[in-house]
Structure 1
Amino acid sequence: MWVEPMADAGANQYTFHIEASKDVPDLCRKIKEAGMKVGIGLKPGTDVSVVLPYGPLADMLLVMTVEPGFGGQKFMADMMSKVERLRAEFPLVNIEVDGGVSPANIDQCAKAGANMIVSGSAVVKSPQPAEVISQLKQAVQKVFPE
């Protein structure tokens, strides 16, 4: 129900959690028909195998590295095995991590295969947010040069 309003608002990508969709292929089709890229998110408790059949339909696969819902949670390093698996299966798809990502664990994320990063608390709670952003970006660019 939100695909068209998001496209109308100018969004160029629509990411949904696989756990919230009853018909993943149909939702992916609707997103593409609306002119947006498809992102599919995966919560920590969901096995990575659930998203594998839909990887070819996605432009981006998101691995949540905390339970979705609120900021400031501790990074779940064990989610990096999901990132590694997705990168191995889909080498050309963007792999994103979201949750607890900071300069302390960004190298781990990038080496596992994440080339897109969401970092909230580490940036906004820093006295030097621009420096944190730069550190995160540089770590990813070492593994994924543009």
Structure 2
Amino acid sequence: MAASDSGDKKFSSRLAQVQQLIHEAEERSLSAVNEPPTPKIALEHVSVSFARSGGPGGQNVNKVNTKVDMRFNVKKAYWLSDRIRERILQLAIIDAASYVPPPPSEEQKKKIAKMAAIGEQKRLQSKKALSHKKAIRRTRDSYD
């Protein structure tokens, strides 16, 4: 009985963690709704230079400036919100920084909870099977 109680506690704590993650995702999406849409980067915000590409490339590699080097100063991008600018500095990817995933639907929430419960049951069943196998090895009858 005590073993099932501890299993139930672990199960409920994992479900609580999943529910907490869902709640945090909903809060992030609600806070992003109030922000204006992310402006696009115009050519005047980027410095462009051309250079010869390094590495293999055949005869033209030393003759043609085919490498394009585009630089964007994030710290001077006053037209981006502070949240996006901070994420860019951390991630260095503009699209990923400005993307806010939509909150999970009720159907998705149920599916996530169901998958977490199934995973937990499988984990407990495998532990029980391993314990049973080891218990059989410990019996005196198995030594004959």
* Global fold match (TM > 0.5): no
TM-score (norm 2): 0.20
TM-score (norm 1): 0.19
Which has more helix, going by share of residues? 2
Greater C-alpha radius of gyration: 2
Which has more strand, going by share of residues? 1
